[in-house]
């Protein structure tokens, strides 16, 4: 491009001096990859100039425990199934099969746009660590495209062991904030916003109940929520963290919690809170500890549990928090953990409440899920 501007400047200067200039243009054939890169660059410029777009990603549902969708990495695109995780900020995909695994493996040698980096990548999740090295390549998410994006190729997942081997996804795409990005590399949302491709710097989650869901990047889908949003400002830019006003049962309004913050985490299947608070709530339910989880008799009635955020209560009924049934027992999707003054509101909460993550205004919007929303309304 710089050479082209130099030629044009020289031509203009020569014309002004009434000199006769003859320029012979030599044509060369461009490779398919070069043509694709040119088209993508032009598309990005047009989107930035005339307004961006948004894309809908189908989230496949594995037993109401994992939601994951498809992206492509490299040129030509290699399919990867990733969990879209608001509780972390890095993208990683495997480039080596785990023992007895059956994952979609990213092969850098098969991508014409792969750029090596070699910097070591290590990250620790609640389920264990993974590690590998950073690299850069093209990443496509629905209709959105990032060129030369830095992510990690993971070759060691032994820390997650069977949990990863049997997981339905291949990698994780973090949607958290730059402050928790391992290696300080740009996040996917950071790069998408900077590229000018999005209509709005937001994304919204609809998690189906024993059905597929949808992640919309660049907007929200009005088919999947009803009423208006209650917006709560972020209390810190790391995870998607907001102030927690209180937790109550039924209509009493008396708070059962002294915890002052909550994280909305699409990468956590359940509700998790400080062990002492969870134990107190489970005692109120007369719950028993069964196979590592709390359970009640399925015939038993329990009050709704409400989380107050931004001055408004968001409730979960008995049906909302039941994750499985076993011989007349109903397992509850609430676990106690050694958390420091924090509740994690995972998929159990997000199935009941549509969550709009507003990157631009640093806030989260909550609305009631439209339970009539059909899976076939979802499109890519």
Active site residues per annotation: 85, 265
Contact 256, 280 (CB under 8 A): yes
Burial code (b: 16+ CB inside 10 Å, e: under 16) for 218-249 equals bbbbeebbeeebbebebeeebbbbbbbbbbbb
Question: How many angstroms separate the CA atoms of 140 and 138, rounded?
Answer: 7
Contact 151, 119 (CB under 8 A): no
**Per-position DSSP letters for 85-118, written without gaps between them:** ETT---EEEESSPPTT-------GGG-TT-EEEE
**Per-position DSSP letters for 321-363, written without gaps between them:** HEEEEETTEEEESEEEE--SS-EEE-HHHHHHEEEEEETTTTE
Three-state DSSP class for 210? Answer: coil
Dmax (CA) of the chain: 95
> Which residue reads 């409440």 in tokens?
353
Q: Where are the alpha helices (DSSP H) in 241-333?
A: 275-284, 318-321
Question: How many angstroms separate the CA atoms of 253 and 244, rounded?
Answer: 14
Contact 281, 334 (CB under 8 A): yes
Please give the DSSP secondary-structure letter assigned to residue 39.
Answer: H
Three-state DSSP class for 298? Answer: coil
Residue 306, strand partner residues: 248, 315
Handedness of CA 83, 87, 93, 96 (dihedral sign): negative
């Amino acid at each position: 491009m710089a050479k082209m501007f130099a030629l044009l400047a020289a031509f203009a200067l020569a014309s002004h001096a009434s000199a006769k200039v003859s320029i012979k243009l030599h044509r060369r054939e461009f490779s398919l990859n070069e043509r694709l890169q040119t088209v993508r660059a032009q598309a990005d410029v047009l989107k930035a100039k005339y307004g961006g777009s948004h894309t809908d990603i189908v989230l496949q549902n594995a037993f109401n425990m994992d939601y994951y969708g498809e992206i492509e990495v490299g040129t030509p695109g290699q399919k990867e199934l990733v969990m879209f995780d608001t509780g972390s900020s890095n993208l990683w995909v495997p480039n080596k099969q785990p023992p007895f695994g059956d994952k979609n493996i990213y092969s850098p040698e098969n991508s014409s746009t792969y750029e090596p980096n070699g910097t070591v990548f290590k990250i620790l999740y609640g389920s264990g660590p993974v590690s590998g090295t950073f690299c850069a390549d093209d990443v496509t998410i629905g209709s959105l495209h990032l060129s030369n994006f830095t992510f990690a190729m993971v070759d060691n997942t032994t820390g997650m062991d069977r949990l990863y081997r049997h997981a339905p996804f291949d990698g994780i795409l973090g949607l958290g904030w730059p402050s928790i990005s391992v290696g300080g590399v740009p996040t996917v949302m950071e790069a998408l916003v900077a590229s000018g491709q999005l209509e709005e710097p937001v994304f919204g989650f609809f998690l189906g109940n024993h059905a597929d869901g949808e992640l919309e990047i660049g907007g929200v889908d009005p088919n999947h929520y009803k009423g208006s949003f209650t917006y709560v400002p972020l209390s810190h830019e790391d995870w998607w963290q907001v102030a927690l006003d209180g937790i109550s049962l039924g209509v009493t309004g008396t708070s059962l919690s002294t915890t002052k913050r909550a994280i909305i985490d699409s990468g956590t299947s359940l509700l998790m809170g400080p062990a002492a608070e969870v134990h107190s709530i489970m005692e109120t339910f007369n719950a028993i500890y069964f196979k590592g989880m709390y359970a009640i008799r399925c015939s038993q009635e329990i009050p709704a549990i409400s989380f107050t955020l931004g001055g408004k209560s968001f409730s979960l009924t008995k049906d909302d928090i039941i994750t499985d049934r076993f011989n007349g027992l109903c397992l509850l999707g609430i676990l106690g953990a050694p958390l420091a003054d924090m509740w994690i509101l995972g998929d159990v909460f997000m199935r009941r409440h549509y969550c709009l993550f507003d990157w631009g205004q640093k806030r989260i919007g909550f609305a009631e899920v439209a339970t009539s929303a059909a899976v076939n309304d979802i499109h890519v």
